[in-house]
Amino acid sequence: MKIAGAALMTEKFEFRTLLRRGRFGAYTDLNAARRELAEVPDMPRGDFGDFGRGGMTVRRVTLTALLTAWDAGGGHFDDAGVIGWNGAGCAAENSNYWRDYLANGREAGRGGLFVATLPTIPYCEAAITLGCRGRVAYFRTAPSTRRLRELLAAVPAGRYLCGEVSAATVAMVLADTRCPGAPLPDCPGLCELFRVLEAEA
């Protein structure tokens, strides 16, 4: 498996990419980040028509996916799948919907908050933005990138944007399971893997 691109977003809205050594930010907010990143040469265009609809996690994942695609050289990603792995899941979104429901009652429940209560939603939004038509799923496993590699080896060969979201960071790699790559270290998360690969590069 080859890492064909990778990006890391920090809590200060800074982005770093692995292969092209991109450094972007810090932005005042994610809408500003989206606008300014669109001006970067070679940046995939993406469908950002619904960017404002998404919550913070959706926007963070979508922009990190965009930077990962840029790091991989851009082009089309319609063959790619998008996989979420470990991290924070959607516990915050679940709590957000439920608190809003309790505060505002049955008749005023907000469907937009409910939709966010699936851990796949940020990855589906990223797939829509980049036009990825491969599989989309979220896996929670033991904290080992070796286990993630095993799961990717189990699915049909192809390109997968794999992301992990925590409160502080979003890390994403573009894994190409069709290509042999250099051995990867086993890390507890994608953020740690990104930092190890960045230090080695």
Question: CB-wise, 142 or 199, nearer to other proteins?
Answer: 142
Instruction: Kindly report the number of other CB atoms within 10 A of residue 109's CB atom.
Output: 14
Q: Give min distance, CB of 5 to other proteins, in A.
A: 19
Q: Which of 68, 80, 43, 74 is nearest to 159 (CA)?
A: 80
Question: CB-wise, 21 or 110, nearer to other proteins?
Answer: 110
Alpha-carbon distance 19 to 87, whole Å?
Answer: 23
Alpha-carbon distance 186 to 64, whole Å?
Answer: 22
Question: CB-wise, 115 or 196, nearer to other proteins?
Answer: 115
**Which residues lie near other proteins (CB under 8 A)?**
50, 78, 81-82, 88-91, 94-95, 97-98, 101, 106, 109-111, 114-115, 117-121, 123-125, 127-128, 130-142, 150-151, 153-156
Question: CB-wise, 135 or 195, nearer to other proteins?
Answer: 135
Question: Is residue 145 within 8 Å of residue 190, measured between CB atoms?
Answer: yes
Q: Give min distance, CB of 123 to other proteins, in A.
A: 8
Q: Give min distance, CB of 201 to other proteins, in A.
A: 30
Q: Give min distance, CB of 26 to other proteins, in A.
A: 29
Only one residue has tokens 């005023």, namely: 108
Give the SS3 label for residue 126. helix
